[in-house]
A and B are shown apart, each in its own frame.
Chain A
């Protein structure tokens, strides 16, 4: 048996009736007694508390200027780092020399440093990647003693404001550091559900009291990984290792919105990131395949690995994430298809248990997002 890491709030999850499963090397609560469906709908209507302490948090402190560190980060990502203002967060992608995606992440400009939050399954890789490329320009301060919680849903702001009044002033993708009785909180107004909400880094010493205080607030319930997955799928958000990986380029993955103009052909800092030749070419000429949203026409969920076909039987690709969307009330999926079949409304077929079943290319998000811009 492999040893799994335990979350700082492991005991709390057990007390709440969490069903623990292995995920990315951690014992994680996949659901609580309410169940995936009820937890999902609770986040959409009220507010849900997620423990995402398995994710990697690292502070990059510049050895020289923030600008030289920002430029060094731009050498790893096809993203505008220099243009990110203090107090703001942005979505980023580490790319490979062949134009694939090594990981996706959030990075924040905190004035005197950058805070990065990376995927649990990729943190060892990412930290090594950062150490190898940024050693001259930054000190890497990996945050081993901080938990990471997410409070998501339309009542998240009102609930969190009871404990941290300052959060009402934050907009989508703002970040803030606030001293509280739970220790210094690092807040961002963001998440992985399509709802308004916050991700909150809290020192491990204060994490249990903070989580209990949040759970005691009106409308707040604990939410497991199962609902986290169905919520992000309805929001059309990628899961690394499934919808994106080293074989998918950001253009194929339909993440071109994450590549700002300044890094594209003709931009002031065009190229200069790993895989730029392929990625810039795909931006101009289009990729061979593209990630799309998919709506099965029947009720049968279509999950990762289900093969996709044109109606004439030509193989096109496969589903990379799929399941039932509790708020949509129907099965939803995403996957890759040859570009000629990627237009919204395109009729396709999927092979499920030996039968070809109809599905259609659909816009994402499947459920409208509710961010506070």
Chain B
């Protein structure tokens, strides 16, 4: 699993990259009450705002960490946004990206580097 400075995680699953937010991010956001997911089939560039997450405190954007096509979104989050707090690294994945080269995730931090990053 790799981590971005925007507190998202990326994991390779088959030929796809699965994206979610980190425990640190989920804790900082507080109770999540709404998740707006992108549509499957959307072509995105790195840094595009593709999803919105709302907690009891505020709204935050979820960015596409790399260029690719969103091929699947996690509909469970629409019905149960609280999953983001309960299981941020597992059941609360946001979307799956199809990319040209899975090697793009090497640019991101590994777990130790991310831990240092968040102090």
Enumerate chain A interface residues (CB-CB to B < 8 A).
31, 35-38, 226, 230, 299-301, 303, 323-324, 326, 331, 353
**Are B54 and A35 in contact, CB atoms less than 8 angstroms apart?**
no
A9 → B minimal CB distance (Å): 23
A293–B82 alpha-carbon span in the complex (Å): 25
A299–B75 alpha-carbon span in the complex (Å): 14
B34 proximity list for chain A (CB < 8 A): 299-301, 324, 331
The answer to the question of B78 belonging to the interface, with a C-beta cut-off of 8 Å to chain A, is yes
Of chain B, the residue at the smallest CB distance from A323 is B56
> Which residue of B31, B52, B54, B56 has the most chain A CB atoms within 10 A of its CB atom?
B56
Enumerate chain B interface residues (CB-CB to A < 8 A).
30-31, 33-34, 36, 52, 54, 56-57, 59, 78, 81
Q: A326 and B56 in contact (CB under 8 A), knowing A36-B31, A299-B78?
A: yes
**Are A324 and B36 in contact, CB atoms less than 8 angstroms apart?**
no
Q: How many A-B residue pairs have CB under 8 A?
A: 41
A-B contact pairs, 8 of them (CB 8 A): A35-B56, A36-B56, A226-B56, A299-B33, A300-B54, A324-B33, A324-B54, A326-B56
Q: A324 and B56 in contact (CB under 8 A), knowing A35-B30, A35-B31?
A: yes
B78 → A minimal CB distance (Å): 7
A230–B33 alpha-carbon span in the complex (Å): 13
**Are A226 and B57 in contact, CB atoms less than 8 angstroms apart?**
yes
**Are A301 and B30 in contact, CB atoms less than 8 angstroms apart?**
no
A36 proximity list for chain B (CB < 8 A): 30-31, 56-57
A186–B42 alpha-carbon span in the complex (Å): 61
A328 → B minimal CB distance (Å): 11
Of chain A, the residue at the smallest CB distance from B82 is A37
Q: A37 and B78 in contact (CB under 8 A), knowing A299-B34, A324-B33?
A: no
A31–B31 alpha-carbon span in the complex (Å): 11
A353 proximity list for chain B (CB < 8 A): 36, 52
**Are B57 and A300 in contact, CB atoms less than 8 angstroms apart?**
no
> What's the dominant secondary structure at chain A's contact region?
mixed
**Are B54 and A301 in contact, CB atoms less than 8 angstroms apart?**
yes
A303–B52 alpha-carbon span in the complex (Å): 14
B30 proximity list for chain A (CB < 8 A): 31, 35-37, 226
A38 proximity list for chain B (CB < 8 A): 31
**Are B56 and A37 in contact, CB atoms less than 8 angstroms apart?**
yes
A352 → B minimal CB distance (Å): 9
Of chain B, the residue at the smallest CB distance from A230 is B56
A273 → B minimal CB distance (Å): 38
A226–B57 alpha-carbon span in the complex (Å): 7
A37 proximity list for chain B (CB < 8 A): 30-31, 33, 56
Q: A303 and B59 in contact (CB under 8 A), knowing A324-B54, A353-B52?
A: yes
A369–B30 alpha-carbon span in the complex (Å): 26
A1–B33 alpha-carbon span in the complex (Å): 33
B54 proximity list for chain A (CB < 8 A): 300-301, 324
A31–B58 alpha-carbon span in the complex (Å): 14
A36–B30 alpha-carbon span in the complex (Å): 7
B78 proximity list for chain A (CB < 8 A): 299
A5–B85 alpha-carbon span in the complex (Å): 33
B83 → A minimal CB distance (Å): 14
Of chain B, the residue at the smallest CB distance from A301 is B54
A300–B33 alpha-carbon span in the complex (Å): 8
A299 proximity list for chain B (CB < 8 A): 33-34, 78, 81
A360–B57 alpha-carbon span in the complex (Å): 23
A169–B16 alpha-carbon span in the complex (Å): 66
A331 proximity list for chain B (CB < 8 A): 33-34
A220 → B minimal CB distance (Å): 21
A89–B34 alpha-carbon span in the complex (Å): 39
A299–B81 alpha-carbon span in the complex (Å): 10
Please name 10 further chain A to chain B contacts, defined as beta carbons within 8 Å, in addition to the given A226-B30, A299-B81, A300-B34, sorted by A numbering: A36-B30, A36-B57, A37-B31, A37-B56, A230-B56, A299-B78, A300-B54, A301-B54, A301-B59, A353-B52
**Are A301 and B52 in contact, CB atoms less than 8 angstroms apart?**
no
B33 proximity list for chain A (CB < 8 A): 37, 299, 301, 324, 331
A326–B56 alpha-carbon span in the complex (Å): 9
A230–B36 alpha-carbon span in the complex (Å): 22
Of chain B, the residue at the smallest CB distance from A36 is B56
A226–B31 alpha-carbon span in the complex (Å): 11
B56 proximity list for chain A (CB < 8 A): 35-37, 226, 230, 323-324, 326
B10 → A minimal CB distance (Å): 25
A39 → B minimal CB distance (Å): 10
A301–B30 alpha-carbon span in the complex (Å): 15
A331–B36 alpha-carbon span in the complex (Å): 14
